[in-house]
């Protein structure tokens, strides 16, 4: 018997908007594929912090003020209610302000558009904890997805960890994007039958080899390009990629796509090591240009200390570019063969240099790398989500 169509409330503070179209895009991507692969419908409630001023002088806070209250992205209606963020003690209060900021809107949506069947919450803290309170008030089942630092960092703290565990026990089910995150949740006391790993897929139509854009990174003297893509923040350890350069041939350059507070420090590091002419900071690269960026690279490096499931690894491989990643979390599930690339334990730049040189020396077949990435499709993930939601709402797939 076919499942009755479900109406899903997606609840997350990690979701793109017209001001920042790449923020939380991994949540949007999974939802878009789910809706394309199944007959269900969804509405997104993606709260943003309240801030009164829109002027550029206020930096990233002003961006929050410019986010529209409602927008339509890829045919999906997205609402952005505001919630209060309190400095210093805000981390402990945020689940409650998130919940209060969304409750009035969700109740109005239910009156005007009909009831939801299930809440799909992304990121366990504060979003999942807030969703547990929404679910209790509205009498709805909810499912949570763990994505990385919400488990490896936040849930390891006393107060937040207790709230995460309480929400997980209340949830109909918890999804993790890697097996290591699942193991971490089990160690907190979540029942094994209550947690499933559903890794992310890759949009192979968008992320594909783009040979027409090779001049995108035509740097003087560069014979090989090592790419990094991500926020320039401490846990991403971009410093390791730069520190690896003195151990590599002078024709190896590093191209950095991304912005963040550590850019000036990383530029200073490159100068100090005498490799400033081999490190190229490109700033934020638009989503439409990322296939060209990956295609122009010989290898992608990701030395992050913590990652849930790093989509950037799979996106690079879909463009035919092998990777070198720290051996953590989702990378352990993903980099499992020579076509994918190499894993590195620890943070020794010389070890990363050896792993990069190994990829460059062996000239991994880029077609084989892409073929491997294409085994990580979205449809099976969509159907597994559907089965979890159907159980949460009392339906049974296949009956």
Cβ atoms of 241 and 303 within 8 Å: the answer is yes
Residue with tokens 């960026």: 293
The average pLDDT across 16-45 equals 93
Question: What is the pLDDT at residue 91?
Answer: 74
Q: Mention every residue, 6+ apart, whose C-beta is less than 8 A from residue 67.
A: 17, 18, 19, 20, 48, 80
Average pLDDT, the chain: 90
- pLDDT tens digits along 226-283: 999 998 999 899 999 999 999 999 999 999 999 999 999 999 999 999 999 999 999 9
Residue with tokens 């463009």: 319
Question: Which helix or strand (DSSP H or E) is residue 344 part of?
Answer: strand 341-344
User: CATH topology of 7-201+377-392 equal to that of 211-373?
Assistant: yes
Architecture of domain 211-373: 3-Layer(aba) Sandwich (3.40)
Pick the CATH number of 7-201+377-392 from 3.40.50.2000, 3.30.70.1140, 3.40.190.10, 3.30.300.30: 3.40.50.2000
- Torsional sign, CA 256, 260, 57, 127: positive
- Torsional sign, CA 43, 44, 45, 51: negative
Question: What is the pLDDT at residue 199?
Answer: 86
What are the distances in angstroms from CA 299 to CA 67, 119, 250, 289, 364?
36, 39, 16, 17, 10
Residue ranges covered by each domain of the chain: 7-201+377-392, 211-373
pLDDT at 309 over 80: no
Question: What is the pLDDT at residue 105?
Answer: 97
Decide: pTM greater than 0.85: no
Picking from 151, 132, 147, the residue whose alpha carbon sits closest to that of residue 14 is 147
How wide is the angle at C-alpha 132 spanned by C-alphas 131 and 137, nearest 5°? 95
Picking from 345, 339, 343, the residue whose alpha carbon sits closest to that of residue 331 is 343
Residue with tokens 């890829």: 74
The average pLDDT across 186-197 equals 91
Question: What is the pLDDT at residue 275?
Answer: 96
| pLDDT-based confidence at residue 67 (cuts at 50, 70, 90) | very high
Question: What is the pLDDT at residue 250?
Answer: 94
Picking from 305, 318, 304, 300, the residue whose alpha carbon sits closest to that of residue 254 is 300
> Which stretches of 190-290 are assigned E, i.e. beta strand?
195-197, 224-229, 252-257, 279-283
End-to-end CA distance of the chain: 5
Pair of tokens at residue 163? 């709230």
Over its C-alpha atoms, the chain yields an Rg (Å, rounded) of 22
pLDDT at 396 over 50: no
Comparing 62 with 194, which gets the higher pLDDT? 194
């Amino acid at each position: 018997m076919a499942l009755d169509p479900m109406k899903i409330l997606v609840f997350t503070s990690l979701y793109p908007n017209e001001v920042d179209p790449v923020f939380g895009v991994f949540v949007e991507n999974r939802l878009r594929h789910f809706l394309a692969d199944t007959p269900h419908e969804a509405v997104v409630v993606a709260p943003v912090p309240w801030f009164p001023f829109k002027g550029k002088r206020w930096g990233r806070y002003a961006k929050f003020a410019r986010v529209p209250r409602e927008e339509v992205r890829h045919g999906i209606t997205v609402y952005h209610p505001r919630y209060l963020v309190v400095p210093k003690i805000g981390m402990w209060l945020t689940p409650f302000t998130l919940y209060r900021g969304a409750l009035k809107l969700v109740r109005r949506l239910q009156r005007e558009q009909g009831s939801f069947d299930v809440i799909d919450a992304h990121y366990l803290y504060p979003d999942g904890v807030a969703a547990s309170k929404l679910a209790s008030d509205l009498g709805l089942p909810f499912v949570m997805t763990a994505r990385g630092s919400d488990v490896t960092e936040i849930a390891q703290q006393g107060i937040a960890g207790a709230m995460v565990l309480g929400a997980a026990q209340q949830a109909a089910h918890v999804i993790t994007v890697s097996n290591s995150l699942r193991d971490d949740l089990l160690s907190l006391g979540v029942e094994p039958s209550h947690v499933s790993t559903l890794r992310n897929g890759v949009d192979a139509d968008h992320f594909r080899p783009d040979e027409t854009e090779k001049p995108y990174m035509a740097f003087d003297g560069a014979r090989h390009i090592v790419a990094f893509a991500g926020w320039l923040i401490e846990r991403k350890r971009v410093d390791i990629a730069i520190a690896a350069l003195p151990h590599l041939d002078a024709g190896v350059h590093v191209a950095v796509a991304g912005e963040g507070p550590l850019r000036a420090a990383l530029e200073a590091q490159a100068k100090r090591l005498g490799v400033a002419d081999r490190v190229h900071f490109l700033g934020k690269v638009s989503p439409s240009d990322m296939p060209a960026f990956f295609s122009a690279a010989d290898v992608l490096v990701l030395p992050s200390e913590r990652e849930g499931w790093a989509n950037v690894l799979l996106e690079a491989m879909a463009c035919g570019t092998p990777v070198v990643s720290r051996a953590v979390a989702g990378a352990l599930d993903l980099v499992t063969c020579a076509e994918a690339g190499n894993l590195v334990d620890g943070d020794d730049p010389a070890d990363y240099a050896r792993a990069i040189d190994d990829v460059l020396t062996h000239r991994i077949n880029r077609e084989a790398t892409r073929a491997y990435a294409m085994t990580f499709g979205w449809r099976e993930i969509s159907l597994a989500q559907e089965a979890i939601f159907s159980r949460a709402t009392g339906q049974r797939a296949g009956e």
